[in-house]
Chain A
């Protein structure tokens, strides 16, 4: 009896300690983000003129108009294509390069640091440089390919389809795959060497060791990476806006571009909030299904 009571109170103490440790996180949320979040949802029910942030109540009209417009659904489709495309490349390149950088090589620290370059380069500068390299007159990419005999005319990388979407997906992958590299690399460090030694002794080859040991160990961190990168890629604005502006016509227009256009080009903050809330709901559905599936 006494033992049980003591253990209960210890558990209770630990619960409190646990709550204390998570308290700063909760505090940050409740004080900083809750107001803007609720404000944004609230604004979606109004027709708001951005420079004055004034407007009138329209209820669900913003939503009705959006869902009835073909543009919304086309943008959603583009968004899904972009996210799925760039995410897959980020994962594949990320894991491969992480494995590569896990091996022993000369100046490995510098190599690992250089691989981060696309990720920490400011998006605006990255876009300017890529547009420069893609340029048909003085861009280095076309010239290299023509010199190598692969092309005889410069290619329109960003102005026609499907080039525009493909280029976007690749540049997005280039920009963000180092995130996957770093996280996977960190996780690779904590896989016990003994597992590999045991497998080698059992006669397992390189590929088998990867499939049977590395991948399962990476599974948990990959689940989180996929979740986080999906959210980030889905919300991506700068890269697409600056590279193609959503063109040609609306073939690369995604929902975040619609949000920005409504908010600051058309000065309709209410509409913008409505698109944003719809985005959030879509991601919510994905997240819930995804977490449920990966929980078991």
Chain B
């Protein structure tokens, strides 16, 4: 076990110094031999910090000699092929079709390169990545992981800086601040945002609002409660919020605490959840329970979505996925759904949108760095990028100015029909945050993933709502538990 640990460390501190652009030795399947991968990286365009004697260290000479002799061997004369492995947690059939297109065009433009797409999942990636890092078989590129996962890996020194790719795509083409959450310092980014999601929009049935005599969607908590109360009844529930022991509840209550003007951690990452604002948030969340279906104590994202799209609730909280699902599963109400940023406790509290900033990053030590960076940049090329967006319109929002303004992007039924909603989600997501970065003043919280996955916040909600425990006491205990995680 120890040797593995030491090996892993050694591997990460080895410089990727090579001479020439030659790749020898076919990379067959998924896992790369640790030694091999060092010899296989092409000389990168950025300066090699460890190249002390102007590019010719003894190691590089040896490597060069090896490369030269290998190139003289018959079986390496033929066009040597490289394989890039790409992991993603988002691979529904529509998205996969978009990826296939991007892979096809990339392979056509770069003969000799093959891109292998390997699915992973939201539940699986922690395990799979841990195994891959430990075994030295990292993929070249990973996409769609949330920002707090990226922060975690970067903090452990497992990722490479992503700035070359950002420059290749065009620093100015990104929405301003699109990659702010991945910025480490002036010229280092751990990753880039691949697409935005505004995950906690308030979705309302405009026809039910009208029937209840309300002229516009609620913007404060009082208005929300009143609206839900008026629309509740005769087989319709006012709201669909989760009160379960799961990550949906955790992520949503974080939003509510911010909408009450509070925060989980302070800008310097001291625990700040034990506050009046959080008490207000919990009490309000508790009070909304009576408008939610009885099974809400076990609801997850799927249920709060289908509760709304099936027409059973007047409001819900979700991302742009609602538009796609409503049109597929319940077209009758498709004309009557609209969204806005989730209400806050008072007009002077700014809305707080949950965006996990699905990322694209390059793990350290996977090899073939140059071509990987090229492929990473390729993912943002408008033809393929727009296909990616169109695979989940409204749910995935573009981060490139050139795409947002392009007519091809707008050439999609959902995006056309729901233009105001899409625009609202777009601006909400751009200003979005998550537990890893709660406000623009906050430091990056690398323990955000651990806090979310530990279930502490969901448990907090359940204690207050199901057990009727006093919010203050529960918050005090919760604060201690969060502190323990921050210290670990």
A265 to B247, CA, bound (A): 11
CB-defined contacts of B295 to chain A, threshold 8 Å: 134-137, 154, 156-159
User: Would you call B271 an interface residue if the criterion is a C-beta within 8 Å of the partner chain's C-beta atoms?
Assistant: no
A159 to B243, CA, bound (A): 8
- B245–A266 touching, CB < 8 Å: no
- A160–B1 touching, CB < 8 Å: no
- B297–A261 touching, CB < 8 Å: no
- CB contact under 8 A between A159 and B130, given known A244-B245, A261-B453: no
Looking at chain A's contact residues, is the secondary structure mostly helix, strand, loop, or mixed? loop
A8 to chain B, nearest CB (A): 47
CB-defined contacts of B4 to chain A, threshold 8 Å: 53
Q: Which residue of A lies closest to B135 (CB)?
A: A53
From the candidates B126, B152, B245, B453, name the one contacting A246 in the complex (CB within 8 A).
B245
User: Would you call B269 an interface residue if the criterion is a C-beta within 8 Å of the partner chain's C-beta atoms?
Assistant: no
User: Would you call A39 an interface residue if the criterion is a C-beta within 8 Å of the partner chain's C-beta atoms?
Assistant: yes
A54 to B458, CA, bound (A): 29
For window 325-343 of chain B, which residues contact chain A by CB distance below 8 Å?
Answer: none
Q: Which residue of A lies closest to B158 (CB)?
A: A51
- B488–A52 touching, CB < 8 Å: no
- CB contact under 8 A between A266 and B450, given known A52-B156, A134-B295, A261-B455: yes
- B245–A245 touching, CB < 8 Å: yes
A157 to B298, CA, bound (A): 9
Q: Which residue of A lies closest to B129 (CB)?
A: A51
CB-defined contacts of B243 to chain A, threshold 8 Å: 159
- B488–A264 touching, CB < 8 Å: no
From the candidates B298, B454, B463, B488, name the one contacting A244 in the complex (CB within 8 A).
B298
Interface string of A255-267 (1 = CB under 8 A from B): 0000001001111
User: Would you call B73 an interface residue if the criterion is a C-beta within 8 Å of the partner chain's C-beta atoms?
Assistant: no
- Count: A-B pairs, CB below 8 Å: 121
User: Would you call B476 an interface residue if the criterion is a C-beta within 8 Å of the partner chain's C-beta atoms?
Assistant: no
- B455–A246 touching, CB < 8 Å: yes
A39 to B134, CA, bound (A): 14
- B453–A160 touching, CB < 8 Å: no
For window 140-160 of chain A, which residues contact chain B by CB distance below 8 Å?
Answer: 153-160
CB-defined contacts of B463 to chain A, threshold 8 Å: 249
User: Would you call A111 an interface residue if the criterion is a C-beta within 8 Å of the partner chain's C-beta atoms?
Assistant: no
Q: Of the 9-residue stretches B58-66, B76-84, B189-197, B306-314, which lies at the interface with chain A? A: B306-314
- B9–A54 touching, CB < 8 Å: yes
User: Would you call A268 an interface residue if the criterion is a C-beta within 8 Å of the partner chain's C-beta atoms?
Assistant: yes
User: Would you call B8 an interface residue if the criterion is a C-beta within 8 Å of the partner chain's C-beta atoms?
Assistant: yes
B438 to chain A, nearest CB (A): 20
Q: Of the 9-residue stretches A42-50, A99-107, A189-197, A220-228, which lies at the interface with chain B? A: A42-50
A137 to B303, CA, bound (A): 10
User: Would you call A207 an interface residue if the criterion is a C-beta within 8 Å of the partner chain's C-beta atoms?
Assistant: no
For window 103-130 of chain B, which residues contact chain A by CB distance below 8 Å?
Answer: 126-127, 129-130
User: Would you call B467 an interface residue if the criterion is a C-beta within 8 Å of the partner chain's C-beta atoms?
Assistant: yes
CB-defined contacts of B453 to chain A, threshold 8 Å: 261, 264-266
CB-defined contacts of B462 to chain A, threshold 8 Å: 247-249
CB-defined contacts of B50 to chain A, threshold 8 Å: none
Q: Which residue of B lies closest to A136 (CB)?
A: B295
CB-defined contacts of B301 to chain A, threshold 8 Å: none
User: Would you call B294 an interface residue if the criterion is a C-beta within 8 Å of the partner chain's C-beta atoms?
Assistant: yes
B34 to chain A, nearest CB (A): 15
From the candidates B1, B133, B488, name the one contacting A39 in the complex (CB within 8 A).
B1
Q: Can you report 18 A-B residue pairs in the complex whose CB atoms are below 8 A from each other? A: A43-B1, A52-B133, A53-B130, A138-B312, A153-B294, A154-B294, A158-B297, A159-B299, A245-B244, A245-B246, A245-B455, A246-B455, A247-B297, A247-B462, A249-B466, A261-B453, A266-B453, A266-B485
B residues engaging A (CB < 8 A)?
1, 4-5, 8-9, 126-127, 129-130, 133-134, 152-153, 156, 158, 243-246, 293-299, 303, 306-307, 310, 312, 449-450, 453-455, 458-459, 462-463, 466-467, 485, 488
7 cross-chain pairs, A with B, having the tightest CB-CB distances, nearest first = A159-B297, A247-B245, A265-B453, A136-B295, A159-B298, A158-B298, A245-B245
A residues engaging B (CB < 8 A)?
39, 42-43, 49-54, 131, 134-138, 153-160, 164, 244-250, 261, 264-268
Known: A51-B126, A157-B295, A264-B453. 20 other contacts (CB 8 A): A49-B156, A51-B133, A51-B158, A52-B158, A53-B133, A54-B9, A136-B293, A137-B293, A137-B310, A153-B294, A159-B298, A244-B298, A245-B458, A247-B246, A247-B458, A247-B459, A261-B454, A264-B130, A266-B453, A267-B450
